[in-house]
Structure 1
């Protein structure tokens, strides 16, 4: 080996002149330690994070690793190295156990997982990767120590702060892990690609954004007519600003659809953040069809650089090198993201998913359409919300027109710990009811007989008697069948249309609605219900959960322009809702509506509805994947991080994506075909606008038939004429259209 071998390297790179540049290992360890400590100070765990940073790459002192990095990089090209990477993370985990005994297991999880992900303590499925198994490889530590690492690293002071205390230990460890891996990424990036580091940050602060927003709202108010609806929106805005002065914690914002809760909730968040020193605002939305709309509203209020939009269907026109970097760790003041991205990250174990977690702390999180929190994961989600609010300085706002009952419930043989200290922003129950009455814009017509369904033919004939009407059904195949019975100019919307197609159609609908003389009939699945800003005089809704009916009503007479009340007609369809949550929600809604209450949308009914819905499932089904037992506090810190992450999937893996042929995306598809072994991030982002998800069994059949082709590993493209310009993806004689609308949450 050369004389350079006496220098311990963490990374090497060549500069623009072809000269080798060294990143010394001790410099890297100290750099990561300092960064991780600065992140973890937020939750008083800086001493733990600093030690994790100092020890995370102790294994790189091994002679085997030093030979590997020199030979594999070409730095010492004459050195022969074995194929495959060298384990450099287990040694630090072993050293943590040696120095700290039982408490060392905390750091062992972080260090052992800082590349491959937080492991399970023990695993029947993957025993070799379990932490217990890896801690048996004592020779890896002996090899590292034989190189005599610096004593200031080996003998660093042990943590003195309480490791978790009464908190959720597994969440505390995941947050520490976030601090470590983000620090590791950033320190490595600063050496390897300093131009990227230079692009980070430089966002406006929340303190700078608030006066911009206030000026925008003043201008917006000046342009609006003094209608009853706009007066109520102004009242909601005022109450949000006043409530922002309250101490941090849990809040609800219960405002009827069309009451201006999106901008009002942001006004609350901005003022609350300024008042209490919060670092950022996260706006969490269930549907991508809403997230794009909401982010555009926020960009209008501020500017494009102030808003980070993070989801799978990211619009490339708003993406910049800086925003791509900020998506990695949410280092921006205002983030608009999806429920999937937010909650799955909180339970993830992979470094790329978890590095953003520490930036959630000391923030304001607005959970838009809170009624759509997934019931099968409700128990672990509520526990995490409580923990983040109580111990980590996060204020949550549960924002919806149909507020779910998430309070604790206890019985003879069950117990559910919910959210018990939620403060309603608009006031007490009487104030919520007064707001509901003031914003009443529709009248509901219920079925004469809840047991007798209407036929599609009869419903189609009835819809044709209306000049402008929106009809919402639960099943994608129901939408297709009903659409086929109506005149050719009828508009169709469903999740079998790719995102770009849906956006184009929604834009067309809005354009036609602006022309008072244009007839318009729309058949849609429930993807239009949550936040899509449409306004019809008449809306038909298949019998469903009470929250879905209320959301459908929010697309009717939204601006209060109807001479009389808008008309919402609930009908019993000839098909049942899909099995699972939607069918249970329909049953709970039917039970209440069959009593024919004077006001079926009375806010008081939603408490009863959600209680019935949740308890109909049973408390054990509110954690149907068994996440809680895997992460339960225990004195030995034995957790199953990897298994919990695999189980916490809000979008089930029974679906598979296809890139369809739509519009003018031939150029993108041709570029994909020419991309060889590499797939550029920008191209992938653009192609995501043309994805449709279908059941894996149908996906496999189409692949076998040659109807789709794999252009890149895991990237499948439609090659047969399967896509219809009106109906979207068509695969005749298959159950492809049998989707639960829950599958549209992306």
Structure 2
């Protein structure tokens, strides 16, 4: 007999004492099961999720586990004994394979078939020991939780008959339901509160609020030539929202208010079809911040104490805002973990790396996607090498999980070129996109590609205009062009790149907008970051030749409001600098762009763009054997979740994937990066930086200090930090965070290297 366990009728515990009370095992199993069922019901796996919740911690009924819990309780240490294998064994016994995987991974994450089978005994001796402990747990549970054995679920025909890729996603979603329910119930016990459950979208109320605030905004805004076109885009989006759920495309020029039109579509569609929430995913943090601010103004309640509607989540851990109230910080933290909110604004990295992830912390939000509307903004920025798998994920979300997808872009990729999308009905929201582009044509294109001009000569030509924007392909070219700019007091020359921290870039953009508004002379040199949702309106723009979607985006920063006349009142010059550079990924894109675009065909030609993308995908061999998309698909087919996330093992050590392995994993961004704090700004800013660094270097780092440092952080490729000349100027702070001790230039940002290589993203 075990200390603290007098008989099978005495209490068994799931968790040690918190607030004076231990967590009863039967309560934890039943409450987790109840929550998991409610989470899985929207996609028809409620009974299976319920049973997974009942068995997930069943192994804790094992006599030795209970004894160890009581032994370690005073120290707060982990029990450290197996409690997963019982539920895995029970699921295998009844042929419920999805539950096997969910229970096996509910702490350490989804793994591989070999690792799951390993929980059932590697040899006869291990199997014998496991059998004894399983029998001990089952004897106690038959009395404590009899429904675990009397109310067995069945695999639905919708699961059994599904294709292999859909079944793999169903396992992911079942896993999501279990780990979220488990976390919520455990958290409620430790905090001594009820389960933290949010509210689904209240469509009618939010749609009315959205329309009312939009009207007020438009009534107070100066009228302009683009208003009618923006109203047309919004009107067609609202009309299309009444159609049956599925996949939609919003193809409209830059500057036609797609952000607001997309939200209007999603809200009305949610009202018409009972959708539970809206998720907006964008490729860049700058756009995330901008869009979230717009949506908060249109949707959040006016009362400070009321629960918010819009959650903005940039990364896996959202640190919140130090200015927020304690109540709002708590709401944001909990909502960020599982997206239990009506309206989420996040990044495409967060969305798709969660969909293809394996860890509980990353995947517990997945079940919230069922019966939702997902807006993919600037969809052309999705990484080409992953498009077939992204397309397959979208197919499954629509066909099996009741999701409506909206693809929004001025330069739509051709997802129909990939097998998962071949037979899907993708509906255009704008009845005639080509005609809309013609009507909204605000610029004329000129080309300087033959002969290739010198970068300095292009700078001279661009700076001769009273107000001009110049966009180049690399950080080095941006710095060189800025240094070649005129230094006359008659013109303001400014620079933007990722070598600058966000506070620096915001200060530059404020100066740019002031100059544009005052119609004073300005010359701005930038990398492509200015194309990422930055609302500027220059009369003239110069763009180094690049992918056509990038060239089109620059056109959206020229005569944006149409005040110089339509069609074609602005000027965009495309140039190919003889001494310029470009990222390696641009090579094939530029080669194809030169075939389809030029003096006779500009980058806003929608038909040419479609031909370009189809040819590009074929040339890149995206679906070819051995390429990331194909390798990921094979690993998904084998339910090798670890290899999907971390890459297949091509070296010796299965745990230590090398760089070449990770390139074959589902990673939206291949390059690992490191955040570096730089010293920018006035004395007040420097004092803040010093204060936050001291907090983070202390014995109990405050995560809010990192949030306050965000405006002063530059992101650098990890590989660079190993170079002696860079490493000498790095001072560790906490985790991967460093402080930069070297030079930071008020003109062009961090100065990392003397040899002018392009190190920054």
TM-score, reference length from structure 2: 0.87
Equivalent of residue 365 in structure 1, options 374, 377, 380: 374
1:453-474 CA distances to partner (integer Å, 9 max, x unpaired)?
2112211211220111111111
Equivalent of residue 630 in structure 1, options 631, 635, 644: 635
* C-alpha distance in structure 2 between counterparts of 1:686 and 1:345, whole Å: 26
Equivalent of residue 146 in structure 1, options 136, 147, 161: 136
* C-alpha distance in structure 2 between counterparts of 1:605 and 1:626, whole Å: 31
Tell me: CA distance 1:397–1:674, structure 2 relative to 1, closer, same or farther (3 Å).
closer
2:595 counterpart of 1:584? no
- SS of 1:149's equivalent in the other structure is helix
Q: Tell me if structure 1 keeps the 8 A contact 2:29–2:55.
A: yes
Tell me the equivalent position of 2:669: 651
* C-alpha distance in structure 2 between counterparts of 1:730 and 1:197, whole Å: 50
Equivalent of residue 502 in structure 1, options 482, 500, 505: 505
Equivalent of residue 8 in structure 1, options 5, 12, 36: 12
Equivalent of residue 327 in structure 1, options 333, 336, 340: 336
* C-alpha distance in structure 1 between counterparts of 2:434 and 2:695, whole Å: 60
Q: Tell me if structure 2 keeps the 8 A contact 1:703–1:709.
A: no
Q: Tell me if structure 2 keeps the 8 A contact 1:224–1:230.
A: no
**Deviation (angstroms), 1:651:** 1.5
Tell me: CA distance 1:669–1:422, structure 2 relative to 1, closer, same or farther (3 Å).
farther
Tell me the equivalent position of 1:683: 705
Q: How does 1:597-636 map to 2 (within 5 A)?
A: 597-620=600-623, 623-624=628-629, 626-632=631-637
Tell me the equivalent position of 2:118: 133
Between Structure 1 and Structure 2, how many residues are aligned? 702
- Per mean C-alpha deviation after superposition, the further-off stretch among 348-357 and 674-683 is 674-683
* C-alpha distance in structure 1 between counterparts of 2:225 and 2:504, whole Å: 35
* C-alpha distance in structure 1 between counterparts of 2:172 and 2:640, whole Å: 12
* C-alpha distance in structure 2 between counterparts of 1:196 and 1:479, whole Å: 55
2:537 counterpart of 1:535? yes
- Per mean C-alpha deviation after superposition, the further-off stretch among 168-177 and 675-684 is 675-684
* C-alpha distance in structure 1 between counterparts of 2:90 and 2:535, whole Å: 57
Equivalent of residue 261 in structure 1, options 254, 258, 261: 258
Tell me: CA distance 1:331–1:74, structure 2 relative to 1, closer, same or farther (3 Å).
same
* C-alpha distance in structure 2 between counterparts of 1:440 and 1:380, whole Å: 34
Q: Tell me if structure 2 keeps the 8 A contact 1:698–1:736.
A: no
2:550 counterpart of 1:548? yes
**Deviation (angstroms), 1:695:** 2.5
CA RMSD of aligned residues (A): 2.4
Q: Tell me if structure 1 keeps the 8 A contact 2:313–2:344.
A: yes
- SS of 1:711's equivalent in the other structure is strand
Tell me the equivalent position of 1:338: 347
Question: Is there any run of 5+ residues in structure 1 with no aligned partner, and where?
Answer: 123-129, 410-414, 633-637
Tell me: CA distance 1:527–1:574, structure 2 relative to 1, closer, same or farther (3 Å).
same
2:489 counterpart of 1:485? no
- Per mean C-alpha deviation after superposition, the further-off stretch among 318-327 and 274-283 is 318-327
Tell me: CA distance 1:417–1:654, structure 2 relative to 1, closer, same or farther (3 Å).
same
* C-alpha distance in structure 1 between counterparts of 2:28 and 2:449, whole Å: 72
Q: How does 1:703-718 map to 2 (within 5 A)?
A: 705-718=727-740
Q: Tell me if structure 1 keeps the 8 A contact 2:337–2:365.
A: yes
* C-alpha distance in structure 2 between counterparts of 1:665 and 1:652, whole Å: 33
Structure having greater relative contact order (Cα 8 Å, sep ≥ 6): 1
Q: How does 1:424-435 map to 2 (within 5 A)?
A: 424-427=428-431, 431-435=432-436
Equivalent of residue 398 in structure 1, options 402, 407, 418: 407
**Deviation (angstroms), 1:105:** 3.2
Q: Tell me if structure 1 keeps the 8 A contact 2:319–2:703.
A: no
Tell me the equivalent position of 1:354: 363
Tell me: CA distance 1:463–1:172, structure 2 relative to 1, closer, same or farther (3 Å).
same
1:370-410 CA distances to partner (integer Å, 9 max, x unpaired)?
1112111011100010010111111001101111212146x
Q: Tell me if structure 1 keeps the 8 A contact 2:392–2:421.
A: yes
- SS of 1:185's equivalent in the other structure is helix
* C-alpha distance in structure 1 between counterparts of 2:666 and 2:281, whole Å: 17
Q: Tell me if structure 2 keeps the 8 A contact 1:286–1:340.
A: yes
2:110 counterpart of 1:86? no
Q: Tell me if structure 1 keeps the 8 A contact 2:497–2:526.
A: yes
Tell me the equivalent position of 1:190: 188
- SS of 1:490's equivalent in the other structure is strand
Question: Is there any run of 5+ residues in structure 2 with no aligned partner, and where?
Answer: 302-307, 647-664
**Deviation (angstroms), 1:30:** 0.6
TM-score, reference length from structure 1: 0.89
Tell me the equivalent position of 1:166: 162
